[in-house]
Amino acid sequence: MSYETIVGLEIHVELSTLGKMFCRCKNPTLADKPNTTTCPTCLGLPGALPYTNQQAIDSCVKIALALGCKINKDSFFERKNYFYPDLAKGFQTSQFLHPFGEHGKLEIEVNGTKKTIGITRVHMEEDTGKLTHSRLDGKDVSLIDFNRSGVPLVEIVTEPDIRSGEEAKEFLTRLQRIIRYLNVSDADMEKGHMRLEPNISLRKPGETKLPKYKVEVKNINSFKFVDKAIKYEQKRHEQLLEEGETPTQETRGWNEFKNKTVSQRSKEEAHDYRYFPEPDIPPIEFTDSQIEILQTQIPELPDERRKRLAKDYGIKNLDAEILTREKAQADYFEDMVEIGKRHGIKATKIASYLINKKVDVKDTPPASVIKQIVEEENIETIDDSKLEQAISEVFEQNIQAVKDYKSGKNQVIGFLIGMVKRALPEAKDNDQIRKKLTEMLE
Amino acid sequence: MDITNLTITEIIDGYKEKKFSVSEIVSSYLERIEKLNPELNAFITLDAQNAKKKAKDLDSKTPNGALYGIPLGIKDMFLTKGVRTTASSNVLRDYIPPYSGTVVNVLEEAGAISLGKLNCDAWAHGSSGENSDFGNTLNPWNKERVPGGSSSGSAAAVAASLVPFSTGTDTGGSIRLPASFTNTVGLKPTYGLVSRYGVISMASSLDSIGHFSKTVEDSARILNVTAGADGYDSTLAKRDKENYMEDLKKEIKGLRIGIPKEYVSDALDKDTKQAFEKSIKALEELGAQIIEVSLPNTDHAIATYYILQPSEVSSNLARYDGIRFGKDRSYFGKEAKRRIMLGTFTLSSGYYDAYYKKAMQVRTLIIKDFKDAFEKADALVAPVSPTPAWKFGEKADDPLQMYLSDLLTVPINLAGVPAISVPAGFSEGKLPIGIQFIGPHFSEKLLFRIGSQFESKTEHYKELPNL
């Protein structure tokens, strides 16, 4: 029997704010030595209290707005109570009842089919410390680094609208682009800025209700692994269902070396987090004008921009898609188009140049690339008869090469071009020489 | 001349007149502590060396700061950098904090000198001081009686003139109750006026940071230093600084002072009732207009408080797991364990709506009660405790009986309004009795004015225990 796969995603995004979520410590980088960017608040010392970082709240609201969420004007933080050695206070300051954003959506396209994925919620919370299990002086030890403790974290939860690993990957790719466009996080997977948790279950075709179970795969750090984990789980569930069993509701982890998921925690150990409103932080209220101001700070997002570039500049849809993957690249393209106008260079030419030559947009000024294009366009062609004469001479001197070409060794053309250029130094346009050479070799 | 019976104002005057040096003051108090503390057990950690050093240092400088050279004792709920801070619990018996909180810092910047840390009920859980893991603090007025809690050491230390003032925390009456049991002035400021940063949290939405002093004037002087936003406690109101000493001499003629009828029930013992009636008379003589008001939800206050407070306690004590500092959870005492279990239960899924959520709704009604009452009255007056100090052991085995002693103080914390407990006389057996003035949010200046006028007329504060 073929089954339908039901996937919902939970994504944690570490924000790139200057400071931490509830204290004045700097938001650390991986280069900081362990436990050097800490204070009483993020260490959870007695008497320490949280003080909210407005930049982080604004960033979270921007993500929510970019995903089309409704912003809760009356929101508050809540305590999520659980014990873990990396959780300094014994609770995580998070949001439960009233996340900053709810009911959003994001459109994806897989194999030419468009689809809308619902966004359940976008909320603000703080990261935990980091546990490392290692050996020290011959003993097994667990080390805690609290640098990450209190780093602002945005959690994005989707509706169970995703049906395949490909869809999940596409959704994540688009989400990552949006977050980068907003400039609220580097969203660098390798640095753990984005952590992914798919919830997977299978149902019989035609069923409309959600399956009675779901399996959560925790803390995956690449889109490829999300795809693989979903595919692995699909097979595993299918096998169990075929045998008449229901897969166990549990949390599993992705093992990238074994290419499989492994069971971590079953439902029996599920937590009761005892959420309640965080009494140390007053409720967070937004006015319409505050939301409007944040809305104006949101740049044109990748999807709209792709459409506009294709329409306004007449470039290919695929080119527009490639150019808008990163905001810097798209900005660069539009800067070049502006300069190119003065030199009569078309947007389509610029688009293909940028894509094919893989221009380093960080370190090359757009004007210098335009200059390069202009130079290449202006390469003088020379008189055909002069060229023909030179080519004839080259043929006479390189009979073997001509023979080789005729027997199918096309690569000798490069050698012949070189010989022509040596015989006729004013011939500079490779394309012209190549064209003439092939003509005369036929 | 005994220079340890002085008020802050008197010490300041003495410095001006060069009657004594800061070192002399500090040494006199330290000597008195050495003599009386072994029995009273108000201080559980002394910081004598540092205090003497600071005194010497101040003597070499030009007098500066609102509390220049004034000794104080600090409730052991306040973190003090480099000085052991225990919350009077074995869990933190050896804990030396790496930082001081806002109030400790601003007091020191104003020139105050800490002589050490004061005993309290462990984690500030209690009404008698008997929950301390460091032994009972005795009531200087009667050593068989409790000094009141949770700020037991803070009250006893000021009453016994071991210090002219001390810090305290008031979550459900922990400053006002012991103040009323020891003939001292105890201020519970508006929630959101004084920073909680660096004070061990009991129940975050109720904790108020206040102090004990001999007089209302001293109390106002201290609040001038401690009040204000600090950028560390998010719940602090951003307001302009006020001079709380401004209206102390202003008469109270024509002020409408309300008696909440629910607070003067038959539950009051005879002496308390008598002292209260005498106090009302004194207020009338001062020209105040006494009216009756109603706080109809008073009956639900204790039940509400004993859901919200343990809920927050259970979460606030989670960090004391012994992994990074302090000792493990087996070191928690009975009362802390009771509150952790109660709070964990009331927050559990399936019970949250019935307990925590309901309690929050009742809290809103209680806040409204006070708002309505302040439409009719400028301030309220009420007894602090239904009885004077009880004997050690009398309620120790009956937590519910102990909880009920907070009946007249808890609603004020739930509403977040300020209140000041002022000496109001004595029982037949010479046990102190206090009354509290309660005002709208941020009305401290008015409360100091009423308190000061009342105090000048009655002068109960001048009576000292026989030690």
pLDDT score at A435: 84
B126 in reach of chain A (CB within 8 A) = no
Across the A:B interface, residue pairs with CB atoms under 8 Å apart total 96
pLDDT score at A363: 81
Set B28, B54, B75, B208: catalytic member: B75
Q: Does the model's pTM come out above 0.80?
A: yes
Residues A108 and A201 in one domain: yes
Catalytic annotation on B174? yes
b/e per residue, A380-413, with b = 16+ CB within 10 A?
A: eeeeeeebeebbeebbeebeebbebbeeeeeebb
Segment B398-408 mean pLDDT: 82
pLDDT score at A267: 58
Residues A164 and A76 in one domain: yes
pLDDT score at A139: 94
Write out chain A residues lying below 8 Å of B315, CB-based.
Answer: 79, 81, 90-91, 274, 276
pLDDT at B52 over 80: yes
| B115 to A438, B63, B148, B439: CA distances (angstroms) | 100, 19, 22, 32
Q: Which domains are delineated in chain B?
A: 8-462 (3.90.1300.10)
Segment B177-181 mean pLDDT: 98
pLDDT score at B20: 95
CA angle A302, A353, A409 (to 5 degrees): 130
As a whole number of angstroms, the distance between CA A236 and CA A251 comes to: 14
Set B161, B166, B174, B219: catalytic member: B174
Q: Which residues fall within 8 angstroms of residue B391, CB to CB, at 6 or more apart?
A: B144, B145, B146
Residues A151 and A47 in one domain: yes
B318 in reach of chain A (CB within 8 A) = yes
Q: Say what percent of chain B tops pLDDT 90.
A: 94
Residues A124 and A140 in one domain: yes
Q: Which two tokens mark A367?
A: 């004007």
Q: Which two tokens mark A54?
A: 């407005």
DSSP string, A181-244: HHTS----GGGTSEEEEEEEEEE-TT--SPPS--EEEE-B--HHHHHHHHHHHHHHHHHHHHTT
Segment B283-302 mean pLDDT: 97
pLDDT score at A1: 64
Amino acid of residue A101: G
H/E stretch holding A145 reads strand A139-145
Is A60 in contact with A100 (CB distance < 8 Å)? yes
Residues A192 and A123 in one domain: yes
> Locate tokens 């007056």: which residue?
B381
Residues A141 and A159 in one domain: yes
Catalytic annotation on B132? no
DSSP string, B110-167: TT-EEEEEE--SGGG--SSSTT-TT-PPPBTTBTTB---SSSHHHHHHHHTTSSSEEE
> Locate tokens 């009420």: which residue?
B382
pLDDT at B240 over 60: yes
| B213 to A169, B72, B218: CA distances (angstroms) | 66, 10, 6
Q: Which long-range contacts (CB under 8 A, 24 or more apart) does B400-407 make?
A: B402/B126, B402/B127, B402/B128, B403/B127, B403/B302, B403/B306, B404/B302, B405/B127, B405/B128, B405/B173, B405/B177, B406/B127, B406/B172, B406/B173, B406/B177, B406/B302, B406/B305, B407/B267, B407/B301, B407/B302
Residues A69 and A207 in one domain: yes
Residues A37 and A71 in one domain: yes
pLDDT score at B145: 97
Write out chain A residues lying below 8 Å of B317, CB-based.
Answer: 90
Residue B271's Cβ-count burial label (10 Å; 0-12, 13-18, 19+) is: middle
Q: Which residue has the higher pLDDT, B358 or B404?
A: B358
**Which of B315, B327, B353, B413 has the highest number of chain A CBs within 10 A, making it the mutation to test binding with A?**
B315
pLDDT score at A374: 77
As a whole number of angstroms, the distance between CA A435 and CA A9 comes to: 54
How do B71-75 and B165-170 pair as beta strands? parallel
Residues A245 and A313 in one domain: no
Q: Single out the residue in A230, A262, A292 at which a domain terminates.
A: A292
Q: Which residue has the higher pLDDT, B1 or A309?
A: A309
b/e per residue, B140-166, with b = 16+ CB within 10 A?
A: bbbeebbbbbbbbbbbbbbbbbbbbbb
Is A49 in contact with A240 (CB distance < 8 Å)? no
User: How confident is the prediction for chain B on average, in pLDDT?
Assistant: 96
pLDDT score at A379: 64
Q: Which residue has the higher pLDDT, B127 or A407?
A: B127
The strand pairing partners of A117, in sequence order, are A106
B315 in reach of chain A (CB within 8 A) = yes
B357 in reach of chain A (CB within 8 A) = no
Contact flag B315-A276 (C-beta cutoff 8 Å): yes
Q: What is the residue range of A396's domain?
A: 384-441
Q: Which two tokens mark B333?
A: 């005492």
Residue A408: which CATH number? 1.10.10.410
Residues A257 and A190 in one domain: yes
pLDDT score at A380: 64
Residues A432 and A330 in one domain: no
pLDDT-derived band at B422 (thresholds 50, 70, 90) equals very high
B312 in reach of chain A (CB within 8 A) = yes
pLDDT score at B397: 80
Q: Single out the residue in A258, A273, A292 at which a domain terminates.
A: A292
Number of domains in chain A: 3
Q: What is the pLDDT of residues B67-101, one digit of tens each?
A: 999 999 999 999 999 999 999 999 999 999 999 99
Q: Single out the residue in A260, A292, A324 at which a domain terminates.
A: A292
Amino acid of residue A150: G
Q: Say what percent of chain B tops pLDDT 70.
A: 100
pLDDT score at A112: 87
pLDDT at B307 over 80: yes
Residues A144 and A193 in one domain: yes
Write out chain B residues lying below 8 Å of A83, CB-based.
Answer: 318, 321
pLDDT score at A268: 56
As a whole number of angstroms, the distance between CA A428 and CA A192 comes to: 50
User: How far from the centroid of its chain's Cα atoms is residue B202's Cα?
Assistant: 14
As a whole number of angstroms, the distance between CA B263 and CA B270 comes to: 14
pLDDT score at B6: 95
Amino acid of residue B83: V
Q: Which residues fall within 8 angstroms of residue B41, CB to CB, at 6 or more apart?
A: B119, B134, B135, B136, B137, B138, B153
Residue B232, CB half-sphere, CA atoms under 13 Å: how many? 20
User: Of A132-136, B6-10, B118-122, which range is least confident?
Assistant: A132-136
As a whole number of angstroms, the distance between CA B286 and CA B290 comes to: 11
As a whole number of angstroms, the distance between CA B451 and CA A209 comes to: 68
Contact flag A48-B197 (C-beta cutoff 8 Å): yes
Phi-psi region of A125 (alpha: psi -120 to 50; beta: other; left: phi over 0): beta
Ranges of chain A with pLDDT below 70: 1, 266-270, 378-381
pLDDT score at A270: 63
